[in-house]
Copies of this chain bind each other. A is one copy, B any other.
Amino acid sequence: MRAYYKCARCGYTADTNVWLWRCPRCGGPIDVIIEDLRLTLSEQRGLWRFAGVIPAKPLVSLGEGFTPLVKARFLGENTYLKLEYLNPTGSFKDRGSAVAVSKTAELNAKAVVEDSSGNAGISIAAYASVAGIRARIYVPRDAPEGKKSLIKALGAELIEAPSRADASKMAIGSIGSDEVYIGHTWNPWFIQGTKTLAYELVNQLGHAPTSIVLPVSAGTLLLGLFIGFNELMNMGLINELPRLFAVQVQGFAKLYEELHGEYRSEPTRIADALRVSEPPRISQMINAVKSSNGDAIVVTDDEIVRAWKYMFRSGFIIEPSSATVLSGYWRLMGNNKINRNDEVVLILTGNGLKYVDLINKYVIAESNI
Protein backbone atom coordinates (compact mmCIF):
# COMPACT_ATOMS: atom_id res chain seq x y z
CA MET A 1 0.00 0.00 0.00
CA ARG A 2 1.44 3.35 -1.10
CA ALA A 3 -0.23 6.50 0.15
CA TYR A 4 0.25 10.19 -0.57
CA TYR A 5 -1.52 13.48 0.02
CA LYS A 6 -3.42 15.01 -2.86
CA CYS A 7 -5.28 18.31 -2.90
CA ALA A 8 -8.89 17.82 -3.89
CA ARG A 9 -8.92 21.27 -5.52
CA CYS A 10 -5.56 21.97 -7.24
CA GLY A 11 -4.02 18.53 -7.49
CA TYR A 12 -0.93 19.31 -5.36
CA THR A 13 0.65 16.11 -4.01
CA ALA A 14 2.96 15.43 -1.07
CA ASP A 15 4.44 12.56 0.90
CA THR A 16 2.54 11.51 4.04
CA ASN A 17 5.65 11.66 6.25
CA VAL A 18 4.64 15.17 7.27
CA TRP A 19 1.44 16.49 8.84
CA LEU A 20 -0.83 18.37 6.44
CA TRP A 21 -4.36 19.37 7.27
CA ARG A 22 -5.01 21.41 4.12
CA CYS A 23 -3.26 22.08 0.84
CA PRO A 24 -0.17 24.25 1.41
CA ARG A 25 -0.50 25.61 -2.13
CA CYS A 26 -4.18 26.56 -2.53
CA GLY A 27 -5.64 26.08 0.98
CA GLY A 28 -8.17 23.49 -0.22
CA PRO A 29 -9.05 20.28 1.59
CA ILE A 30 -6.45 17.58 1.18
CA ASP A 31 -7.00 13.85 0.84
CA VAL A 32 -4.97 10.76 1.52
CA ILE A 33 -4.86 8.73 -1.68
CA ILE A 34 -3.99 5.04 -1.58
CA GLU A 35 -2.52 3.03 -4.45
CA ASP A 36 -2.47 -0.75 -4.75
CA LEU A 37 -5.27 -1.25 -2.28
CA ARG A 38 -5.96 -4.83 -1.26
CA LEU A 39 -8.15 -5.96 1.61
CA THR A 40 -6.33 -8.12 4.13
CA LEU A 41 -8.00 -8.48 7.52
CA SER A 42 -5.68 -8.34 10.52
CA GLU A 43 -6.00 -10.56 13.59
CA GLN A 44 -6.97 -7.56 15.68
CA ARG A 45 -10.52 -6.89 16.79
CA GLY A 46 -12.26 -3.63 16.22
CA LEU A 47 -11.36 -0.89 13.80
CA TRP A 48 -7.77 -2.03 13.32
CA ARG A 49 -8.98 -5.27 11.79
CA PHE A 50 -8.94 -3.07 8.68
CA ALA A 51 -5.37 -1.85 9.28
CA GLY A 52 -4.54 -3.26 5.83
CA VAL A 53 -6.43 -0.40 4.18
CA ILE A 54 -5.41 2.36 6.62
CA PRO A 55 -2.13 4.11 5.77
CA ALA A 56 -1.22 4.88 9.41
CA LYS A 57 0.44 2.73 12.06
CA PRO A 58 -2.10 1.28 14.52
CA LEU A 59 -0.58 2.99 17.54
CA VAL A 60 -3.65 4.03 19.50
CA SER A 61 -6.86 2.21 20.40
CA LEU A 62 -9.54 2.47 23.04
CA GLY A 63 -11.56 -0.44 21.65
CA GLU A 64 -13.36 1.49 18.87
CA GLY A 65 -15.20 -0.18 16.01
CA PHE A 66 -17.24 -3.35 15.53
CA THR A 67 -20.24 -1.74 17.11
CA PRO A 68 -23.48 -3.74 17.08
CA LEU A 69 -25.67 -3.88 13.97
CA VAL A 70 -29.20 -4.59 15.19
CA LYS A 71 -32.11 -5.66 13.03
CA ALA A 72 -34.97 -3.27 13.78
CA ARG A 73 -38.16 -5.04 12.70
CA PHE A 74 -40.16 -2.39 14.57
CA LEU A 75 -39.09 0.03 11.83
CA GLY A 76 -39.08 -2.18 8.75
CA GLU A 77 -38.46 -5.76 7.68
CA ASN A 78 -34.97 -5.03 6.29
CA THR A 79 -34.03 -2.09 8.47
CA TYR A 80 -30.93 -2.11 10.63
CA LEU A 81 -29.62 0.19 13.33
CA LYS A 82 -25.86 0.64 13.50
CA LEU A 83 -25.04 1.50 17.10
CA GLU A 84 -22.08 3.81 16.57
CA TYR A 85 -22.91 5.48 19.88
CA LEU A 86 -21.48 2.42 21.62
CA ASN A 87 -17.98 3.44 20.59
CA PRO A 88 -15.66 4.11 23.57
CA THR A 89 -16.39 7.82 24.08
CA GLY A 90 -19.99 7.57 22.93
CA SER A 91 -19.75 8.60 19.28
CA PHE A 92 -18.64 7.48 15.81
CA LYS A 93 -15.90 10.12 16.02
CA ASP A 94 -13.75 7.53 17.78
CA ARG A 95 -13.08 5.90 14.40
CA GLY A 96 -11.60 9.11 13.10
CA SER A 97 -9.74 9.89 16.31
CA ALA A 98 -8.12 6.45 16.51
CA VAL A 99 -6.54 6.90 13.08
CA ALA A 100 -5.82 10.64 13.26
CA VAL A 101 -4.23 10.48 16.73
CA SER A 102 -2.27 7.37 15.69
CA LYS A 103 -0.85 9.38 12.79
CA THR A 104 0.10 12.31 15.02
CA ALA A 105 1.83 9.85 17.37
CA GLU A 106 3.67 8.33 14.40
CA LEU A 107 4.87 11.83 13.47
CA ASN A 108 5.87 12.60 17.09
CA ALA A 109 3.52 15.52 17.62
CA LYS A 110 3.59 16.83 21.18
CA ALA A 111 0.12 18.36 21.18
CA VAL A 112 -3.04 18.29 19.09
CA VAL A 113 -5.52 21.14 18.68
CA GLU A 114 -9.16 20.54 17.81
CA ASP A 115 -12.39 22.52 17.45
CA SER A 116 -15.66 20.75 18.01
CA SER A 117 -19.28 21.11 18.99
CA GLY A 118 -18.51 18.52 21.70
CA ASN A 119 -18.34 14.89 20.65
CA ALA A 120 -15.21 15.16 18.51
CA GLY A 121 -13.56 17.10 21.32
CA ILE A 122 -14.35 14.36 23.83
CA SER A 123 -13.07 11.76 21.42
CA ILE A 124 -9.80 13.54 20.55
CA ALA A 125 -9.23 14.26 24.27
CA ALA A 126 -9.57 10.58 25.13
CA TYR A 127 -7.31 9.31 22.34
CA ALA A 128 -4.70 11.99 23.03
CA SER A 129 -4.71 10.89 26.70
CA VAL A 130 -4.07 7.25 25.90
CA ALA A 131 -1.37 8.31 23.38
CA GLY A 132 0.33 10.55 25.94
CA ILE A 133 -0.15 13.63 23.73
CA ARG A 134 -1.44 16.96 25.04
CA ALA A 135 -4.79 18.18 23.65
CA ARG A 136 -6.34 21.65 23.44
CA ILE A 137 -10.00 21.72 22.47
CA TYR A 138 -11.99 24.76 21.34
CA VAL A 139 -15.78 24.50 21.73
CA PRO A 140 -18.66 26.95 21.37
CA ARG A 141 -19.67 28.46 24.72
CA ASP A 142 -23.16 26.94 24.45
CA ALA A 143 -21.94 23.36 23.98
CA PRO A 144 -23.67 21.02 26.46
CA GLU A 145 -22.11 21.38 29.94
CA GLY A 146 -21.72 17.63 30.24
CA LYS A 147 -19.65 17.47 27.08
CA LYS A 148 -17.41 20.29 28.28
CA SER A 149 -16.91 18.46 31.58
CA LEU A 150 -15.92 15.27 29.83
CA ILE A 151 -13.28 17.04 27.74
CA LYS A 152 -11.70 18.44 30.91
CA ALA A 153 -12.00 15.18 32.83
CA LEU A 154 -10.14 13.40 30.05
CA GLY A 155 -7.20 15.71 30.68
CA ALA A 156 -7.51 18.14 27.77
CA GLU A 157 -7.32 21.92 27.95
CA LEU A 158 -10.78 23.33 27.16
CA ILE A 159 -11.21 26.76 25.61
CA GLU A 160 -14.65 28.26 25.03
CA ALA A 161 -15.40 30.37 21.95
CA PRO A 162 -18.38 32.63 21.20
CA SER A 163 -19.62 30.29 18.45
CA ARG A 164 -18.82 27.07 16.63
CA ALA A 165 -17.28 29.04 13.74
CA ASP A 166 -15.15 31.07 16.19
CA ALA A 167 -13.96 27.86 17.83
CA SER A 168 -12.61 26.79 14.48
CA LYS A 169 -10.89 30.11 13.75
CA MET A 170 -9.39 30.32 17.23
CA ALA A 171 -8.09 26.75 17.07
CA ILE A 172 -6.43 27.25 13.70
CA GLY A 173 -4.97 30.58 14.78
CA SER A 174 -3.46 29.11 17.94
CA ILE A 175 -1.20 26.39 16.58
CA GLY A 176 2.30 26.58 18.00
CA SER A 177 5.45 24.71 16.98
CA ASP A 178 5.37 21.01 17.95
CA GLU A 179 1.56 21.24 17.84
CA VAL A 180 -0.67 19.98 15.05
CA TYR A 181 -4.14 21.08 14.05
CA ILE A 182 -6.12 17.83 14.09
CA GLY A 183 -9.46 19.57 13.29
CA HIS A 184 -11.73 16.78 12.13
CA THR A 185 -13.68 18.89 9.63
CA TRP A 186 -10.50 19.25 7.53
CA ASN A 187 -8.45 16.24 8.56
CA PRO A 188 -7.85 13.59 5.87
CA TRP A 189 -6.72 10.98 8.42
CA PHE A 190 -9.97 11.33 10.31
CA ILE A 191 -11.79 10.23 7.15
CA GLN A 192 -9.41 7.27 6.81
CA GLY A 193 -10.86 6.26 10.18
CA THR A 194 -14.53 6.86 9.42
CA LYS A 195 -14.23 4.93 6.14
CA THR A 196 -13.87 1.73 8.22
CA LEU A 197 -17.60 1.96 8.85
CA ALA A 198 -18.19 1.01 5.19
CA TYR A 199 -15.88 -2.00 5.50
CA GLU A 200 -17.49 -3.01 8.74
CA LEU A 201 -21.05 -2.84 7.42
CA VAL A 202 -20.09 -5.07 4.49
CA ASN A 203 -18.32 -7.41 6.88
CA GLN A 204 -21.37 -7.60 9.16
CA LEU A 205 -24.06 -7.84 6.46
CA GLY A 206 -22.05 -9.89 3.96
CA HIS A 207 -22.82 -7.26 1.30
CA ALA A 208 -23.56 -3.55 0.92
CA PRO A 209 -27.02 -2.30 1.99
CA THR A 210 -29.34 -0.54 -0.47
CA SER A 211 -29.44 2.72 1.47
CA ILE A 212 -27.82 4.39 4.43
CA VAL A 213 -29.38 7.22 6.43
CA LEU A 214 -26.97 9.33 8.48
CA PRO A 215 -26.75 12.73 10.17
CA VAL A 216 -24.47 15.17 8.34
CA SER A 217 -22.85 18.41 9.40
CA ALA A 218 -19.13 18.61 8.48
CA GLY A 219 -19.46 15.44 6.42
CA THR A 220 -16.71 13.35 8.02
CA LEU A 221 -18.95 10.30 8.23
CA LEU A 222 -20.57 10.87 4.84
CA LEU A 223 -17.17 11.12 3.15
CA GLY A 224 -15.77 8.19 5.10
CA LEU A 225 -18.65 5.99 3.93
CA PHE A 226 -18.35 7.26 0.36
CA ILE A 227 -14.61 6.62 0.19
CA GLY A 228 -14.89 3.25 1.92
CA PHE A 229 -17.64 1.96 -0.37
CA ASN A 230 -15.78 3.25 -3.43
CA GLU A 231 -12.66 1.39 -2.34
CA LEU A 232 -14.74 -1.76 -1.91
CA MET A 233 -16.23 -1.25 -5.40
CA ASN A 234 -12.80 -0.73 -6.94
CA MET A 235 -11.57 -3.94 -5.33
CA GLY A 236 -14.60 -5.77 -6.72
CA LEU A 237 -15.89 -6.63 -3.24
CA ILE A 238 -19.30 -4.98 -3.71
CA ASN A 239 -21.33 -4.42 -6.86
CA GLU A 240 -23.12 -1.20 -6.13
CA LEU A 241 -22.74 1.92 -4.00
CA PRO A 242 -25.36 2.25 -1.28
CA ARG A 243 -27.49 5.37 -1.63
CA LEU A 244 -26.29 7.88 0.95
CA PHE A 245 -29.07 9.95 2.52
CA ALA A 246 -27.76 12.90 4.50
CA VAL A 247 -30.02 14.27 7.23
CA GLN A 248 -29.36 17.87 8.23
CA VAL A 249 -30.91 20.23 10.78
CA GLN A 250 -32.36 23.73 10.88
CA GLY A 251 -29.77 26.43 10.36
CA PHE A 252 -26.93 24.09 9.44
CA ALA A 253 -28.13 22.69 6.14
CA LYS A 254 -25.40 23.76 3.73
CA LEU A 255 -25.41 20.49 1.82
CA TYR A 256 -29.19 20.57 1.41
CA GLU A 257 -29.05 24.18 0.25
CA GLU A 258 -26.37 23.45 -2.36
CA LEU A 259 -28.61 20.73 -3.78
CA HIS A 260 -32.08 22.22 -3.38
CA GLY A 261 -31.79 25.95 -2.68
CA GLU A 262 -32.15 28.10 0.37
CA TYR A 263 -33.72 26.69 3.55
CA ARG A 264 -34.75 29.48 5.92
CA SER A 265 -35.31 28.62 9.57
CA GLU A 266 -34.29 29.30 13.13
CA PRO A 267 -31.17 27.31 14.01
CA THR A 268 -31.78 23.99 15.76
CA ARG A 269 -32.09 24.16 19.53
CA ILE A 270 -31.65 20.47 20.17
CA ALA A 271 -29.26 18.90 17.63
CA ASP A 272 -26.15 20.49 19.13
CA ALA A 273 -23.76 17.99 17.53
CA LEU A 274 -24.67 19.02 13.98
CA ARG A 275 -23.80 22.71 14.04
CA VAL A 276 -21.19 23.24 11.33
CA SER A 277 -22.30 26.04 9.05
CA GLU A 278 -19.40 26.13 6.56
CA PRO A 279 -18.14 22.58 6.01
CA PRO A 280 -14.71 22.82 4.33
CA ARG A 281 -15.34 19.69 2.26
CA ILE A 282 -18.72 20.77 0.87
CA SER A 283 -17.82 20.01 -2.77
CA GLN A 284 -16.88 16.45 -1.86
CA MET A 285 -20.07 16.11 0.16
CA ILE A 286 -22.22 17.16 -2.80
CA ASN A 287 -20.40 14.66 -4.97
CA ALA A 288 -20.88 11.85 -2.44
CA VAL A 289 -24.64 12.35 -2.31
CA LYS A 290 -25.05 12.80 -6.06
CA SER A 291 -22.75 9.94 -7.14
CA SER A 292 -24.46 7.52 -4.78
CA ASN A 293 -27.89 8.53 -6.05
CA GLY A 294 -28.76 9.69 -2.55
CA ASP A 295 -30.14 12.97 -1.28
CA ALA A 296 -30.01 15.52 1.50
CA ILE A 297 -33.00 16.49 3.61
CA VAL A 298 -33.60 18.82 6.54
CA VAL A 299 -35.59 17.73 9.59
CA THR A 300 -37.13 20.11 12.10
CA ASP A 301 -36.62 20.18 15.86
CA ASP A 302 -40.21 18.98 16.27
CA GLU A 303 -39.51 15.95 14.15
CA ILE A 304 -36.29 15.26 16.05
CA VAL A 305 -37.98 15.34 19.45
CA ARG A 306 -40.71 12.98 18.21
CA ALA A 307 -38.12 10.52 16.88
CA TRP A 308 -36.01 10.85 20.03
CA LYS A 309 -38.94 9.83 22.27
CA TYR A 310 -39.72 6.95 19.94
CA MET A 311 -36.18 5.63 20.13
CA PHE A 312 -36.17 5.78 23.94
CA ARG A 313 -39.48 3.93 24.07
CA SER A 314 -37.87 1.30 21.85
CA GLY A 315 -34.91 0.87 24.21
CA PHE A 316 -32.22 2.87 22.39
CA ILE A 317 -30.40 5.57 24.38
CA ILE A 318 -29.21 7.96 21.68
CA GLU A 319 -28.58 11.70 21.51
CA PRO A 320 -30.99 14.12 19.78
CA SER A 321 -28.58 14.66 16.88
CA SER A 322 -28.79 10.93 16.16
CA ALA A 323 -32.57 10.82 16.37
CA THR A 324 -32.49 12.91 13.20
CA VAL A 325 -31.91 9.75 11.18
CA LEU A 326 -35.21 8.27 12.29
CA SER A 327 -37.01 11.49 11.35
CA GLY A 328 -35.19 11.34 8.05
CA TYR A 329 -36.03 7.69 7.52
CA TRP A 330 -39.74 8.32 8.10
CA ARG A 331 -39.64 11.24 5.68
CA LEU A 332 -37.77 9.22 3.03
CA MET A 333 -40.28 6.36 3.37
CA GLY A 334 -43.09 8.87 3.04
CA ASN A 335 -41.82 10.27 -0.25
CA ASN A 336 -40.72 6.87 -1.63
CA LYS A 337 -37.01 7.64 -1.68
CA ILE A 338 -36.78 4.53 0.47
CA ASN A 339 -38.99 1.58 -0.33
CA ARG A 340 -40.39 -1.09 1.92
CA ASN A 341 -38.11 -3.80 0.53
CA ASP A 342 -34.88 -1.82 0.60
CA GLU A 343 -32.19 -2.92 2.96
CA VAL A 344 -31.61 0.23 4.98
CA VAL A 345 -29.07 1.04 7.68
CA LEU A 346 -29.67 3.95 10.05
CA ILE A 347 -26.45 5.18 11.63
CA LEU A 348 -26.97 6.13 15.28
CA THR A 349 -23.94 8.30 15.92
CA GLY A 350 -24.03 9.60 19.51
CA ASN A 351 -24.84 8.33 23.00
CA GLY A 352 -27.86 9.71 24.86
CA LEU A 353 -26.25 9.18 28.25
CA LYS A 354 -24.65 12.61 27.83
CA TYR A 355 -28.11 14.29 27.84
CA VAL A 356 -29.87 13.83 31.15
CA ASP A 357 -31.19 17.43 31.26
CA LEU A 358 -32.79 17.30 27.84
CA ILE A 359 -34.13 13.81 28.53
CA ASN A 360 -36.01 15.20 31.53
CA LYS A 361 -37.39 18.06 29.50
CA TYR A 362 -38.36 16.48 26.20
CA VAL A 363 -38.62 12.72 26.68
CA ILE A 364 -40.12 12.51 30.17
CA ALA A 365 -41.96 15.81 30.66
CA GLU A 366 -42.82 15.78 26.93
CA SER A 367 -42.34 19.55 26.65
CA ASN A 368 -42.78 21.04 23.24
CA ILE A 369 -39.71 22.50 21.64
| B residues near A313, Cβ cutoff 8 Å | 129, 154-155
Whether A129 pairs with B314 at a CB distance below 8 angstroms is yes
User: A182 to nearest B CB, angstroms?
Assistant: 15
Interface size on A, residues (CB 8 A): 46
Among A62-70, A207-215, A298-306, the stretch that binds chain B is A62-70
Whether B363 pairs with A153 at a CB distance below 8 angstroms is yes
Whether A126 pairs with B317 at a CB distance below 8 angstroms is yes
Residue of B89, B150, B314, B316 near A359 (CB, 8 A) is B150
A316 to B356 CA separation, bound complex (whole angstroms)? 20
User: A11 to nearest B CB, angstroms?
Assistant: 38
Whether A314 pairs with B130 at a CB distance below 8 angstroms is yes
Whether A317 pairs with B70 at a CB distance below 8 angstroms is no
Q: Contact flags (1/0) for A37-80 with B, using CB distance below 8 Å? A: 00000000110000000000000011110111110001000000
| B residues near A68, Cβ cutoff 8 Å | 45-46, 62-64, 66, 88
Residue of B204, B312, B316 near A62 (CB, 8 A) is B316
A149 to B83 CA separation, bound complex (whole angstroms)? 21
A126 to B353 CA separation, bound complex (whole angstroms)? 13
| B residues near A154, Cβ cutoff 8 Å | 312-313, 315, 317
| B residues near A152, Cβ cutoff 8 Å | 364
Name the CB-closest residue of B to A152.
B364
Judge if A141 is at the interface, Cβ distance under 8 Å. no
Whether B66 pairs with A70 at a CB distance below 8 angstroms is no
A336 to B237 CA separation, bound complex (whole angstroms)? 52
Known: A70-B61, A353-B351. A149 touches B360 (CB 8 A): yes
Judge if A328 is at the interface, Cβ distance under 8 Å. no
Whether B317 pairs with A356 at a CB distance below 8 angstroms is no
Residue of B67, B146, B360 near A356 (CB, 8 A) is B146
